[in-house]
A and B are shown apart, each in its own frame.
Chain A
Amino acid sequence: MTDVLDWTWQYDGVILLTGILCAVAASLPGNFLVLRRTSLLGDAVSHAVLPGIAAAFLLTHSRTGAVLFVGAVVAGLLTAVLTELIRDIGSVDEGASTGVVFTTLFAAGLVLIVQAADAVDLDPGCVLYGALEDSPLQTVRIVGTEIPRVALTLAGVLLLNLLFVVLFFKELLISSFDPGLATTGGYSARLVHYLLMIVVAITAVASFEAAGNILVVAMFIVPPSSALLLTTRLSRMIWLSAGIAAISAVAGHFSAIVLPRWLGYRSISTAGMMTLCAGLCFLIAALFSPSAGVLTGWVRRVRLSLRILCEDLLALLYRIEERGSVPGGAGRSDVSNGQSGVFGDAGFEYLAKKLLCSRRLLILAGWIQQYRGNLVREGPAWRLTDSGRRVASLLVRSHRLWESYLATEGVGPGRIHRQAETLEHYTSEGLRNRLDTGVADGAVDPHGSRIPREDDFRIPPVS
């Protein structure tokens, strides 16, 4: 395995660790950004790094990391505060005020920095594309072991974010969903918001240096959004988002090793691949989430309409049996030996017309019911079996009970059939019995047809 990947722990292990730390650290506060519908503040805050550094340098003329770090964080916070301020006093759209603030601050930072510029050489690729690949190079010595510096920083940030989420869980929860309630609960939703912004700014700045701008902005938004598609519980959403972030980081790193070799290139951006993997996770969640997925929803709808079609088929066959004939002679009933059904092409057309479905769907429904033992197909003829007759009689019973009930409730005679047609598919035995006691005449429906009894076709238990 390690041979195939050309894997070295000193190198790949560190990149992987840094990527995971960055991804998980960003996804934790990202949950609340997504829930508060301010996802793009993460992007805006990470753009504030430039004016922050510029201002910090111009004010202090110091190049020490700590000063620049604080400057960048303060600028990030300023972005959030100004955005809110302009939104409130100008009653501007949140997105618009974000756009105004971060582009303006960025431009201001640029002008500042040009004034103070002394051109320093640098490698253009390293920041934007993410310098993750360089993370093993810089190390610090702690208790006798060499530890990569950015990994250490990011571990600290992750710890901070974890503490923040755990300690302020209730406050974050309430102020995200109901700021008014938070205020009546005795703490300021605004204060919680600014604490969150501080955490976001610190995360953005720390990750910016380690992994470039793309990875952190993506991890603020994409894993929490995927998690939100999978669950509606906040605690579960947070764990899921952290998990998705970590998985994306791992998958991203492996694909960054494997993919270029398949395509015949030297290398590919690790941070970019991690982002892409997060996007893939989101796509999977969007398609297959049990509650919100597009495909799962489609499958659910198709299954439901197929179930209804199958049930309607049985009920229709039951009614044909009951009536003893089919218009146009397509089917016939032979009451003497208890056999009736639908025959031939004409019978088929009749069924398809009554059930409003294509012939192909009808064959599918027939096949399903045959598989369940509710239907037999003898040559061109379709007949109900005993168990099919029982299922159908209960459906018809539900239908006619509903019609009686709706009629006693004053629903017009023209509308009872259509409503009963829907309700019959969702009616259990208990509900049928309650309807039975609720209607005036439990034997005959408003159209004069007999309502089957609950035990009309009960199959006697095999002794």
Chain B
Amino acid sequence: MSGFWQVADFLVSVVADFRPLAPGVAGSFRDRLSSLLLFEHYNTRVVVLGAMLLGLASGLVGCFTLLRRRALVGDALSHATLPGVGLAFLLAPLAGYDGGNRLVLLAGAAVSGTAGALAILFIRSLPRLKEDAALGIVLSVFFGAGVALLTVVQQSSAGRAAGLDRYIFGQAASMTADDARLIAVTAALAALLIACNFRSLTLLCFDEGYAAAQGYSIPLLDLLVMFLVVLITMIGLQAVGLILMIALLVIPAAAARFWTNRLWVMLLISGLIGGLSGFLGAMLSAVFADLPSGAVIVLTCSLLFFLSLLLGRERGVLVRSLRRRELSAAIDREHLLRGIWELRESAVEFSGAVVERRAAGFEELLSLRSWSISRLRAQIRRASAEGLVWLNSEGAIELTRRGVMEAERLVHHHRLWELYLITHADVAASRVDREADAIEHVLEPELIARLEQLLLQRQRSGEIPASPHEMGGFQSQVGSVASPEGHQS
């Protein structure tokens, strides 16, 4: 099965995908490093600059496709430029132009890329087919058409001479100064287009309905975003190849999303990550001659992505799990304090308000809700470290003075919300405890004030209302002798 080996070799040497960006710089490793760092070689300068600018521009554009939930549109559209190149080459002589002319080919790429964008919008408007199908269909059919055209083009000697292969797959040696210049112009153009349409593009990404209501045409804006993608890919494709182009359009934006929720910050970070990985990747591959630069740029980019995935300030994995743990610890703490307080309250009422029972046994607390022994232990430890509870000589958990105050505040919130649910939301008394449980931890002070005003006109503010439902805990253990004091709201 030599077929596979051929596949592999083919992909390495030619494909579609990567090309060496710069010829290796001669000399020892040390020489190469120093010459690189000083940018002595014209070639290195060109390549590093070009890769950086391309990364920057595609990082900017990628943000919009990502937020539009169309991250792989770059994949589809970069394939869609292919038939345009073939057609431009075949048809240009009829109009009196040279088929090998670079601008003619670029124009062809732009036209067929835009046709691909329109096709995506058309398929998207059909019932039952979703975004992914639209992208997939455009990608494969346009690419198929392009390949068919290319086999035709290559049969003409002019086609071979024009090096269309080089145009599409970039198999020849290196990025030229012309390439870099073209990339710079395109990047500037893309940035300008984004800056001019910043407000409408923001609306498009975050609130399509509102944008439409404001009179913006959604398909037109979508087309603008996709045109930006076409612009970048048709320039980048011939300079760096297909896979790298897709990677630069997807990865920096996806990485930037972990850091921020604001669009312009995201644009900055995404551009920065794209530019940085272009820079670092090109440098690395110039230093280590046997590393293909395109691949190294992608790998640098994904390294930055994984770092962002872990460490991102807004949506990174670490931050989010930390936030989750903090929240659940805060909730547990509130449950603990309220549990002790309510056990104490029911004991006081049961025995006729004489005995001051301030402690609760571990077992009693454990039976209050479905928390594990270790979780409850950890919570008690944390609360005693905060000075809210302490373990008395009998091993029971007792509230400190501060603990009592905090617990009273919490019980106050809980019962206010219960009362509200019963009187204003028609929730059954037997269910309010659980419903209130879900919301009590996030009640804002303003809301508490309004609830007090609404529910407790005759009571002094801050006074704890009696529970509107039968209490569990202490009574049920002693036997429910006490008359239920609920339903008095």
Which residues in chain B, 114-149, are within 8 Å of chain A measured between CB atoms? 122-123, 126-133, 135-137, 139-141, 143-149
Contact pattern, B 296-311, Cβ under 8 Å of A = 1, otherwise 0: 1011001001000100
> Which chain A residues border B187 with CB–CB below 8 Å?
none
**Chain A nearest CB: distance from B62 CB in Å?**
9
Residues of B within 8 Å of A42, CB to CB, are 136
Q: Is B251 in contact with A129, judged by CB distance below 8 angstroms?
A: no
Report whether B294 and A276 are in contact in the complex, using a CB–CB cutoff of 8 Å: no
Assess whether A111 is in contact with B299, with CB atoms less than 8 Å apart.
yes
Interface size on B, residues (CB 8 A): 79
Known: A50-B11, A99-B246. A214 touches B144 (CB 8 A): yes
Q: Mark B142-181, 1 if CB is under 8 A from A, else 0.
A: 0111111111101100000000010000010000000000
* CB interface residues, B 241-288, toward A, < 8 Å: 243-244, 246-247, 249-251, 253-254, 257-258
B301-351 contacts to A (CB < 8 Å): 302, 305, 309, 315, 317
Contact of A40 among B4, B75, B123 (CB under 8 A): B75
Q: Which residues of A contact B144 (CB under 8 A)?
A: 214-215, 218, 271-276, 278-279
How far, in angstroms, from A282 to B257 measured CA to CA in the complex?
36
| B481 CB to nearest chain A CB (Å) | 44
Q: Are A269 and B132 in contact (CB under 8 A)?
A: no
> Which of B23-73 touch A at CB < 8 Å?
66, 69-72
Minimum CB–CB distance from A429 to chain B (whole Å) comes to 34
Is A463 part of the binding interface, using a Cβ–Cβ cutoff of 8 Å? no
Query: Does A107 contact B295, Cβ atoms closer than 8 Å?
Result: yes
Q: Are B302 and A96 in contact, CB atoms less than 8 angstroms apart?
A: no
Query: Is B17 in contact with chain A by the CB < 8 A criterion?
Result: yes
B9 is an interface residue with CB less than 8 A from chain A: yes
Assess whether A114 is in contact with B291, with CB atoms less than 8 Å apart. yes
**A21 smallest CB distance to B (angstroms):** 16
| B contact face: mostly helix, strand, loop, or mixed | helix
Q: Which residues from A are CB-within-8-Å of B10?
A: 122, 124, 126-128
Is A271 in contact with B1, judged by CB distance below 8 angstroms?
no
Residues in B whose Cβ lies below 8 Å from that of A117: 12
B139 near A286 (CB under 8 angstroms)?
A: no
CB-based contact B145/A276 at 8 Å? yes
Residue of A with least CB distance to B171: A124
**A208 contacts B71, CB within 8 Å?**
no
In the bound complex, residues from chain A placing their C-beta under 8 Å from that of B149 are 272
| CB-based contact A221/B148 at 8 Å | no
Name the A residues within 8 Å of B130 (CB-CB): 37
CB distance from B466 to the nearest CB of A (A): 42
Contacting pair A282 B137 (CB below 8 A): yes
A225 contacts the other chain (Cβ, under 8 Å)? yes
Query: Does any Cβ of A come within 8 Å of B393's Cβ?
Result: no
Are B290 and A271 touching (Cβ within 8 A)? no
Which of the residues A110, A208, A222, A267 comes within 8 Å of B18, measured between beta carbons? A110
Whether a CB of chain B sits under 8 angstroms from the CB of A77 is no
A 245-279 binary contact with B (CB < 8 Å = 1; else 0)? 00000000000000010010111110111111011
Q: Are B5 and A68 neighbours in the complex by a CB distance under 8 Å?
A: yes
Residue of A nearest to B249 (CB): A99
Report chain A residues within 8 Å CB of B75: 40, 43, 99
Chain B 405-423 per-residue mask, 1 if CB under 8 angstroms from chain A, else 0: 0000000000000000000
Q: What is the 8 Å Cβ interface bit string for chain A, positions 93-127, against chain B (1 contact, 0 not)?
A: 11111111001101110110111010110111111
Contact A209 B3 (CB under 8 A): yes
By a CB distance below 8 angstroms, the chain A residues around B70 are 95
Query: Which residue in A47, A108, A125, A282 is a CB contact (below 8 Å) of B141?
Result: A282
Decide yes or no whether A86 CB sits under 8 A from chain B. Answer: yes
Contact A275 B143 (CB under 8 A): yes
Query: Is B7 an interface residue, CB under 8 A from the partner?
Result: yes
Most buried by B among A69, A99, A229: A99
Partner of B7, one of A104, A208, A225, A286: A208
> A125 to B72, alpha carbons, bound, how many Å?
26
Contact B136 A104 (CB under 8 A): no
Residues of A contacting B127 with CB < 8 Å? 229, 291-292
Q: How far is the CA of A96 from the CA of B4 in the complex (A)?
A: 29
Q: Does A89 sit at the interface, judged by CB under 8 A?
A: yes
Residue in B137, B140, B251, B292 with the greatest tally of chain A CB atoms within 10 Å: B140
Docked-complex contact A104 and B16, CB < 8 angstroms:
no
**Is A80 on the interface with B (CB-CB < 8 A)?**
no
Chain A residues in 8 Å Cβ range of B150: 129, 269
B392 at the interface (CB under 8 A from A): no
What per-residue 1/0 map shows which CB atoms of A288-305 lie under 8 Å from chain B? 000110100000000000
Question: A43 and B139: CB pair below 8 A?
Answer: yes
Inter-subunit contact B129/A228 (CB<8 Å): yes
Contact (Cβ within 8 A) B66 A96? yes
- Kindly list chain A residues whose C-beta atoms are within 8 Å of the C-beta of B295: 106-108, 110-111, 114
Q: Cβ of A271: which chain B residues have Cβ within 8 Å of it?
A: 144, 147
Q: Chain B residues near A214 (CB, 8 Å)? A: 140, 143-144, 147
- Does A232 have its Cβ within 8 Å of any Cβ on chain B? yes
A272 to B247, CA, bound (A): 25
* A49, A72, A104, A129, most chain B CB atoms within 10 A: A104
Shortest Cβ distance from residue B343 to the other chain A in the assembled complex, whole angstroms: 38
Contact in complex: B72, A50 (CB < 8 Å): no
B457 close to A (CB within 8 Å): no
Within the complex, what minimum Cβ distance (angstroms) separates A78 from chain B? 14
Question: Is the CB–CB distance between A103 and B298 below 8 Å?
Answer: yes
Q: Are A91 and B315 in contact (CB under 8 A)?
A: yes
With contacts A63-B5, A68-B5, A107-B243 known, is A221 near B151, CB below 8 A? no
Partner of A95, one of B71, B298, B309: B71
Given contacts A40-B136, A292-B126, are A122 and B9 in contact (CB under 8 A)?
yes
Question: Does the CB pair B4–A209 fall under 8 Å?
Answer: yes
A120/B5 in contact, CB under 8 A: yes
Residues of B within 8 A of A104 (CB): 247, 251, 298-299, 302
B69 touches A265 (CB 8 A): no
What separation, in Å, do the CA atoms of A221 and B140 have in the docked complex?
8
The reply on A313 being an interface residue by CB < 8 A is no
- Cβ–Cβ < 8 Å partners of B18 in chain A: 107, 110
State whether B128 touches A229 (Cβ < 8 A): yes
- With a cutoff of 8 Å between Cβ atoms, the chain B residues found around residue A310 in the complex are none
Q: How far is the CA of A64 from the CA of B151 in the complex (A)?
A: 31
A161 at the interface (CB under 8 A from B): no
Beyond A100-B305, A218-B140, is A124–B13 a contact (Cβ under 8 Å)?
Answer: yes
The complex places the Cα of A344 from the Cα of B262 at a distance, in Å, of 68
The verdict on A325 contacting chain B, using a C-beta distance below 8 Å, is no
CB pair A103–B250 under 8 Å, yes or no, is: yes
In whole angstroms, how far apart are the Cα atoms of A69 and B18 in the complex?
23
In the complex with contacts A50-B8, A114-B290, A275-B72 CB distance below 8 A: no
- Chain A residue contacts of B139, Cβ below 8 A: 40, 43, 217
B4/A34 in contact, CB under 8 A: no
* CB closest residue in chain A, given B245: A103
Nearest 10 interchain pairs by C-beta: A65-B1, A275-B144, A272-B148, A279-B141, A99-B250, A218-B140, A107-B298, A103-B247, A221-B136, A39-B136
Known: A110-B292, A126-B6, A272-B145; 16 extra A-B contacts, CB below 8 A, are A39-B132, A49-B7, A53-B7, A90-B309, A98-B72, A100-B251, A122-B13, A124-B14, A125-B154, A127-B6, A129-B147, A208-B7, A217-B136, A266-B155, A268-B152, A276-B145
Can you name 15 A-B residue pairings with CB atoms under 8 Å? A43-B139, A69-B4, A95-B69, A95-B72, A99-B249, A103-B247, A110-B17, A114-B12, A114-B291, A122-B13, A123-B6, A130-B147, A272-B151, A282-B141, A292-B128
Which residues of B are in contact with A by a Cβ distance under 8 Å? 1-18, 66, 69-72, 74-75, 122-123, 126-133, 135-137, 139-141, 143-152, 154-155, 165, 171, 243-244, 246-247, 249-251, 253-254, 257-258, 290-292, 294-296, 298-299, 302, 305, 309, 315, 317
Q: Which residues of A contact B (CB under 8 A)?
A: 34, 37-40, 42-43, 47, 49-50, 53-54, 57, 63-66, 68-69, 72, 86, 89-100, 103-104, 106-108, 110-111, 113-115, 117, 119-120, 122-131, 208-209, 214-215, 217-218, 220-222, 225, 228-229, 232, 260, 263, 265-269, 271-276, 278-279, 282, 286, 291-292, 294
